[in-house]
Amino acid sequence: MNRDASSSTPIRDAERALSLAARIVATAPAAPSARLHALQQMADHLRQYVQGGWLNPTTVVDKIFEVAESHGLTGEPGSDKEATVVQIAMSAKLPPELHPIMRSDRGSNGHALPTPLSLATKTPAAWRATEPQRQRWLATARIPSGDITLYSGNGGAGKTETAVQLLVSVAAGLGDWLGCVVETGPALFLSCEEPESNIRDRIERICKHRHIDPHAIEDLHLHFADLEATWLATADRLGKITKTALLQQVEAWIGRHRPILVVIDSIAAVFDGEAIARRQVRSFLAMLRKIARENDAAIVLLDHPSVRGMADGSGTANSVDWRNSVRAMLHLSDADKDDPDLRELEIKKSNFGRAGEKIKLRWNGLTFVPATSEDPLPGGGRARGRRAVPQTTQQAHRPGPTCPTKHRPRKCVI
C-alpha cells in the first residue's frame, strides 16, 4: 500500500526522535549537572521507542554515549562520571518501574549516584502448605518445558529436519517425537538460516510420512527473518548484551500467542556477541530463559559444534557456558560411515532427568524414524537389542491422527 512519504509512522517517528534527541542535551545549560539531567531526559524519551520495538537498544545506547562524549560528560573507565553515563544509557532499555532512583549521595566529582534496588528474599516458611512444582516436559525426558534446550549437530546431519519433525508433532497433536511422548499446542519456528521453500519441503515430506494434511496445521507458526537482520541480541561497546528489536518482537508475540515450543535456528545467526565470552553467553541465555519461564515455553536452540566438538563427539562449541547454562542438551551424530542413512540422537545433558539416552534413527526416504531391531545392517545382518520406542507407559509411542481437521500451518508475522 502506497503512503505519502511525509505521513507519520512509528518507524519514522522513532528515527526522527533519535536524530533530534541530541538537541535535548545541546539546549540545556552548560553546567555538568544540568547536562546530565538533560541526558537522562533524552534516555527517557527514547525508551518508549526501544520498548515498542522501533529502535535497536544498542543504537540508542551508542547514541547516548556519543552525545555524552561530545559534551564532556564521560570520564575514565571505572570513574563516577563514566558510571553515571552508563546508568543513564542502560535506563533507556528499562521500563519505568525498574528505573533506579537517583539519590542525593554524590561521588567524588559531585555527580549523583544511583540507588541500588532493594533485595527481595524468601524463607522456606513460604512453601508451607503448598505443593512443590513438578517438572513438566515438552518432550518426555528430553526437552523440559519453561527452559532452554541446546540441540547440536553438524551441518547436513539432519538437525533441522528432526527439529521440524518436533514442531509438526507438537502443533499437529501427533503426540510423539522419535520415540518419546510430546505435548500438544502452538509452536513457533524462527528460521534465520533456511529459506521458506526448504522448510516447506521438510514439512510436506514429514506430513506425508505421518499421513496428515500439512495445509491444515493451524498451530504451526513460521517466521523467516530477513537474513541481514537476524540478531536477537547484540553486544554494545561495553560488552553489555542487549535485546534487539527482533527479540522484543518475538517476546511480544510469544506473550500474546503462548506457544509451548519455540525453535530457533541457529545460535550463529541470532547471537551478535562474543560466543566465547562467558558473561555475554550467560546474559543472552538468561534473556531467553526469562521468556521461557514467564510463558511456560520450551525454547530449543539449534547449534553447530566446533571442530573439537565434532572430533570428540561432545557436540559443544565456543564457550562451555553454552552447555553449562542450559538445562538440557541433545546431539545428533553424523551419518554412520558404514550406513549413510543411520544417525544417533543422544541426550548429552539433562538437569531434570537421566542423561545418556541414545536413539538410533534411520532415513526412510521421507524423513527420520526410530531404527528398529528389524532394520538391515551393512553386510546383511540385523540390528539386535535396540528399541526404537521406550517401553514405559509414560513414554509409549502414540501414532498420530490421520488428518487433524482443525490444524492449518500459518506463517507468523512478528
Q: Is the pLDDT of residue 98 over 50?
A: no
Closest CA to 142 of 397, 327, 392: 327
Which of 20-34, 105-119, 145-159, 232-246: highest mean pLDDT?
145-159
Tell me, what's the pLDDT at 393? 33
Residue of 349 and 80 predicted with greater confidence: 349
Which of 48-57, 119-128, 262-271, 350-359: highest mean pLDDT?
262-271
Tell me, what's the pLDDT at 386? 32
Closest CA to 91 of 29, 36, 24, 30: 36
Tell me, what's the pLDDT at 395? 37
3-class secondary-structure state, position 381: coil
Percent of the chain with pLDDT over 90: 50
Q: pLDDT digits over 160-187, tens only?
A: 999 999 999 999 999 999 999 999 999 9
Least confident among 29-43, 327-341, 395-409: 395-409
Backbone phi and psi for residue 409, each to the nearest 5 degrees, phi listed first: -70, 140
401, 217 contact by CB (below 8 A): no
Which of 22-31, 105-114, 386-395: highest mean pLDDT?
22-31
Q: Which domains does the chain possess? A: 10-103 (no CATH), 137-411 (3.40.50.300)
Which residues sit opposite 137 in a β-bridge? Answer: 144
Residue 342 CB neighbours (<10 A): 21
Q: pLDDT digits over 187-219, tens only?
A: 999 999 999 999 999 999 999 999 999 999 999
Q: Is the pLDDT of residue 84 over 80?
A: yes
Claim: this prediction has a pTM higher than 0.95 = no
